[in-house]
Structure 1
């Protein structure tokens, strides 16, 4: 069987192995990320609500009031995390603390990794996964949170 001279070579990458020099963000820094992001999320939600109220669209307001608050909150939070982590690789909290989300080969995560990461945040008791080696939303999506600024 003839080989195709234009075929791309096969590359074997072990995705579960990460270089030793990676500086993973610690739990304290990650908790600070959560607090900052939660405040930013509340401000963003308030601004969305204000914009809707100022729009004067009674039909839109009535429709939004018919949606359960928890469902609306989950949709906004989903948009917050997917939007920031996919487009920028970091949320405002991660930007402030000098961390970012990467995949196993230290590149920007794929869109579906970010979606999976965000959906995993909604698993009941997921916040307690800090007791494990990696947070569930990291391990289930194949992502890591690394430090981008190393102190001198």
Structure 2
């Protein structure tokens, strides 16, 4: 399918993929926001349940298990944000980009969660290298991250 020009219900759409630089900026901004949110939630959890930190210090779950849990939380949070914000994340708001389906329509909550959980796959970030940038979370869910200022989106009826 040619993603640059398509006719939909008599109206033309033009999807211009976000540049690799904007995609990288999205990743950096979203990662920073994730760590800030986790820090804030940790502080709240520590204030409400001070015994939580005693449990964390004495648990012997192992570093690998900790990393897996945090990766799962990251994927779930990114999926939730993209679903609730209709294809946006904090990084996408700042860079003026949005995730959409191949036809230019808004992504569904299930598609957003799929995108979030695909991000958890090791080395997924490397799939974003290249120009145009088309990482696994886009390819496997038939979505694009587009530049909102230069794209003409489908008008849902």
Q: Structure 1-normalised TM-score?
A: 0.77
Cα offset for 1:107?
Answer: 1.4
Q: RMSD value over aligned CA atoms?
A: 2.0
Unaligned runs of 5+ in 1: 1-15
Distance in 2 (alpha carbons) for counterparts of 1:142 and 1:82: 15
Give the number of the structure whose alpha-carbon radius of gyration is greater.
1
| Higher RCO (C-alpha 8 Å, min separation 6) | 2
Runs of 4+ in 1 over 3 A off after TM superposition: 60-68
**Count of residue correspondences:** 134
TM-score scaled by structure 2?
0.75
Gaps of 5+ in 2: 6-13, 151-157
The residue number in structure 2 matching 1:56 is 49
Q: Give the 3-state SS of the residue equivalent to 1:86 in structure 2.
A: helix
Please report how far the alpha carbon of residue 131 of structure 1 lies from its aligned counterpart in structure 2 after TM superposition.
3.5
For residues 84 and 26 of structure 1, what CA distance do their matches in structure 2 show?
A: 21
Equivalent positions of 1:54-93 (< 5 A) are 54-56=47-49, 58=51, 60-61=52-53, 66=59, 68-88=65-85, 89-93=87-91
